[in-house]
Structure 1
Amino acid sequence: MGVIASLEEPDGPVEPGTESVRLLKLHNTGHVVDTFVLDVLGEAAGWITVRPEAVNVFPGQDETAEVVFTPPRESGVGCGPKSFAVRVVSMEDTAGSTVQESTIEVAPFTETACELVPRTVRGRRTARTRLAVDNFGNGPVSVELSGRDEDSAVEFRFSPGHLVVDPGTTRLVPVRIRLKNRFLTGPPRSLPVEVAVLGTDGSCERTTGAVVQLALLPRWLLKAGLFAAAGAVLAFTVLPGVLNAAPKSQAVAAEQTATAQAAAPEPSPSGTPASVTGQTPPAGAQPGAQGYAATTDANGTAHGSATVGQPGSGSAGGTAGSPQTQGQPQAQANTTPAGTGGAADQNAATTPPPAPRPAPAPPKSGAGPAAQDQAASFDLTANVAPTAAGRYSLYKHVVPAGQTLTVDRIALQNPNGNRGSLEIRRDGTRLLYRGLNTLQYENVSARHTFKAGEAVVLAVNCTASTRGSCTPKASFSGTVTRN
């Protein structure tokens, strides 16, 4: 007793995403009606089925079953021959069971995608970005990279310009963009660009981006130059007049004049020094009068002179009676002055001093301390099993009371190549969206403010993972203001 199984030859390769059928012929060599149970073995058993799964065959008769091939259109099922086997188990005679081995050819298919990461870059002479090339086909693909812009103002350099991408993988290619036309000053200019990925089979994928070209001279440099020029003009025109201004007070002017005359006195006719130590001022000079000087002639006679306390005026000499000689009491010299010189000195001596400046007002009380900013950084890492599309897992960071969080930079990571999508939210409001299919690492410059009690949310929808759990990660950096 037993069974003889034979599988017809294939018509050709099976296209992924389609269905192909081959007939399996069963011959009962036994003497009783037997039931044969059919199942598939091998690496392709996941997408090969047999219908029906059990067949009743009369002795010496033949029956057929269908072996159905439905390879999926995905990179996990590579192109080329795939081995399998159909096992036929006899329910009446287990020893008479058999296994029919064969192969099936899976046809190749090509599906590529590309994206600039980031899409928008900035620069003055050059700019740098990366091109992500994805191969969703079931075989390796060879591609050529090229770039263009409408005005031919941009030159592209890819490293490398030709590459081979394995099925189910992503290649990141550095792109250097050189700006041909440059300008010194002015607002930034936006240049749209396009990058093409051309396959050897004739397929072509395109992606777009933009280059923001900045002026060679930054704005802050022009402002600094204007301030420097204004400071130079101020230093050469205003400051010398302020520093060398003549005093407005008559008393201060008289004191400066007396100091200058005392520093350089005129010599006497006999060569004796002009200033006589301990000499008493003559009659006609008020005590303490500004600008008084005493000199002696060759006979020892003392002469007195007084300068008027008016800036720029000459000296007026006054004599009254006999001149005083050395050694006379001080009281005899303090007589009423004669002549105009004494009157001028008296007016200068009686000039009131300038009024004192008021003290600065004390700071107002009741003003609270100023808000303080501190650097802050934190990570949100997902750890979730693959699930259906549209189902998000949430990971939160809540801003404590009395603080305000300002996020300046977000670093996104997908090291395991998970599939799906992620979002950055403020509570329930979406701020940023990225697809995980093309995301490996991206540094996003964005400014978002979160008040006390609001949550920074990482929302992850993982649909497939090659290494178990999905572990996308978002790193945040910015400042915290304590209110």
Structure 2
Amino acid sequence: MSLTASLDASTVTVTPGEETTLPLQILNSGRTVEEYHFEVVGTCAAWSAMEPAVLSLYPGDSGTVSLVMRPPREATVLAGESTFGIRVMPTGDRSDTVVPEGRVTVLPFTETTAELVPRGSNGSRSGRHQFAVDNRGNTPVTVRLGAQPGTEQARVVFAASELRIEPGHAEFAKLRVRPAKRMWRGTPVTHAFQVFAAPQPPEGEEAPAPVLVDGSYQQDPILPRWLPRALLTAALLLLVLVGLWYALLRPAVKSAAREAVTPEAVRSAAAADKSKAPEEGEPGGAGSGGGDSAGAGTGGGSASPTPSPGPSASGGSGGGGDAASGAPTSAQARVQDAVGGGPNTGTALQVPAGHTFQLTDIVVQNPQGDAGTVTVTAGEDTRVLSLGLENFRDSDYHFVTPILVPAGGKVTMTIDCRRVGKPVGAPAPSRCSSSMFLGGTMRTDSAG
């Protein structure tokens, strides 16, 4: 072999970002002039070079070339020890190639950066952020996380107190900013704070300065600013609706109710009066008196029955003399009826044989406020009154010309219940209930 190559040192230590030179001695022990080429092999080949790259030697001469190592200060150049070699190749005889070897140690370095995502947050109860820490060094690093609040009005809480980050990687830590006091309403308040990432150095090395990042949290009120206005608007709208009801709708409902009830009551009373007049044979008698009383009864509903006139009160009419010679007589009946069960009839008075009853006064009462119809008949199915229960509570009728009920005839009251009323301050009844009081004179018929 005509080539000898040797390194001045078998090991070398390099610092990322700096340049290191290692000499290589070359001896041409051959008999001819030779040109040598050099090639670095190993993990350091990407950032190493030979200077000069080509060397020519005469026989018996020796020369020196340098291995220049320039490791970049990047995370791709990992800290630690590795082997390398320098391939020395003669131009004339390739088989005479030699590869001296050595070991290189890359020193570690620490470099970290950090970012707060997002930089500012807002909320009524808390703000949420992520703290991103990037390891740009060439060795794994453990960073301690913490915060420095700008004021005592907010507190920063990390989900994890430490992060271990591999070279060339980034890790994220979640954090929340909580206000010291809740704010129900008012102007939003901004709280400034700082978070830091402090790398932990290897034993025996000085700790690098922590990385500080500024952030802010805007505390919003719990109750939105538009809520009081919305509540005030809703209250005003409610007052307007109530005013419209009392001013417009309620009077209209009352008026419609009166218009629906009063004409029906008047027509039913007039029909009852007309049906009695032909049967008695006296025009303008009982029908006229009953019609006037019916109008008074349905229009206002007297609070108590009107006192029946005595015998002398009816003496001015055509039948007054007969009425005066009879005995004053009164009777009453109370009838109950269930809804949907058909009409129910009660008898107030039955005229005994040899007598004639002169009916002059009728008082009907509907104390429960039931709804339905009430019919008063006298004699052979002579309809005296036909009323709607819902149109009155108390109603009285007085006839100037008495209604004659012959011997054996009955005065009855029939109820057909449609709806049971609800008395105020009393239990709800199960059936309709109405009563009738009648007055007149019982006359003895003459034998002839």
Q: Which range, TM-score by smaller chain?
A: 0.5 to 0.7
CA distance in 1, matches of 2:25, 2:283: 155
| Alignment partner, residue 101 of structure 1 | 101
The structural deviation recorded for 1:63 is 0.8
Spell out, residue by residue over 1:355-378, the C-alpha distance to the aligned partner (whole angstroms, 9 max, x if none): xxxxxxxxxxxxxxxxxxxxxxxx
CA distance in 2, matches of 1:90, 1:82: 27
TM-score, with normalisation over the residues of structure 1? 0.53
Alignment of 1:102-251 (within 5 A): 102-200=102-200, 201-245=207-251
The structural deviation recorded for 1:167 is 0.9
CA distance in 1, matches of 2:129, 2:55: 62
Contact 1:155–1:178 (CA under 8 A) maintained in structure 2: yes
Alignment of 1:432-471 (within 5 A): none
In structure 2, which of residues 259, 262, 284 is the aligned counterpart of residue 260 of structure 1? 262
In structure 2, which of residues 259, 271, 279 is the aligned counterpart of residue 276 of structure 1? 271
| Alignment partner, residue 83 of structure 1 | 83
Percent of aligned pairs with the same amino acid: 31
Contact 2:15–2:71 (CA under 8 A) maintained in structure 1: yes
Contact 2:151–2:193 (CA under 8 A) maintained in structure 1: no
Distance 1:257 1:52, change over 3 A: closer
The structural deviation recorded for 1:116 is 1.1
SS in 2 for 1:241: helix
CA distance in 2, matches of 1:301, 1:130: 99
CA distance in 2, matches of 1:15, 1:154: 44
Contact 1:2–1:97 (CA under 8 A) maintained in structure 2: no
CA distance in 1, matches of 2:243, 2:131: 58
Distance 1:95 1:259, change over 3 A: closer
Spell out, residue by residue over 1:26-73, the C-alpha distance to the aligned partner (whole angstroms, 9 max, x if none): 122222222221111112111100011111223333210011000111
CA distance in 2, matches of 1:301, 1:84: 139
Spell out, residue by residue over 1:289-342, the C-alpha distance to the aligned partner (whole angstroms, 9 max, x if none): xxxxxxx999535256699xxx99xxxxxxxxxxxxxxxxxxxxxxxxxxxxxx
Distance 1:233 1:50, change over 3 A: same
CA distance in 1, matches of 2:64, 2:283: 155
CA distance in 1, matches of 2:13, 2:46: 18
Contact 2:149–2:156 (CA under 8 A) maintained in structure 1: no
| Alignment partner, residue 26 of structure 2 | 26
| Alignment partner, residue 459 of structure 1 | none
RMSD: 3.7
CA distance in 1, matches of 2:72, 2:283: 130
Spell out, residue by residue over 1:134-164, the C-alpha distance to the aligned partner (whole angstroms, 9 max, x if none): 1111111111111122212222222211111
| Alignment partner, residue 16 of structure 1 | 16
| Alignment partner, residue 63 of structure 1 | 63
The structural deviation recorded for 1:236 is 4.0
| Alignment partner, residue 300 of structure 1 | 286
CA distance in 2, matches of 1:302, 1:148: 104
Contact 1:10–1:22 (CA under 8 A) maintained in structure 2: no
SS in 2 for 1:279: helix
Distance 1:156 1:276, change over 3 A: same
CA distance in 2, matches of 1:188, 1:10: 68
CA distance in 2, matches of 1:245, 1:236: 13
Segments of 5+ residues of structure 1 without an aligned counterpart are 266-272, 283-295, 313-483
Contact 1:40–1:50 (CA under 8 A) maintained in structure 2: yes
Q: Which structure is higher in helix share?
A: 2
Distance 1:12 1:95, change over 3 A: closer
CA distance in 1, matches of 2:243, 2:148: 56
Distance 1:119 1:258, change over 3 A: closer
CA distance in 2, matches of 1:302, 1:92: 156
TM-score, with normalisation over the residues of structure 2? 0.57
Distance 1:297 1:8, change over 3 A: farther
CA distance in 1, matches of 2:47, 2:147: 41
| Alignment partner, residue 380 of structure 2 | none
| Alignment partner, residue 340 of structure 1 | none
Contact 2:196–2:212 (CA under 8 A) maintained in structure 1: yes
CA distance in 2, matches of 1:264, 1:161: 93
Amino acid at match of 1:219: R
Higher relative contact order (CA 8 A, sep 6+): 2
Amino acid at match of 1:230: L
CA distance in 2, matches of 1:10, 1:222: 83
Distance 1:95 1:231, change over 3 A: same
Contact 2:132–2:170 (CA under 8 A) maintained in structure 1: yes
Contact 1:134–1:170 (CA under 8 A) maintained in structure 2: yes
Spell out, residue by residue over 1:200-243, the C-alpha distance to the aligned partner (whole angstroms, 9 max, x if none): 23321111122121111123443432233223333444422222
CA distance in 1, matches of 2:181, 2:174: 22
The structural deviation recorded for 1:86 is 0.4
Contact 2:273–2:287 (CA under 8 A) maintained in structure 1: no
Contact 1:2–1:95 (CA under 8 A) maintained in structure 2: no
CA distance in 2, matches of 1:98, 1:226: 96
- The alignment covers a number of residue pairs equal to 289
Amino acid at match of 2:245: L
CA distance in 2, matches of 1:258, 1:19: 112
SS in 2 for 1:35: strand
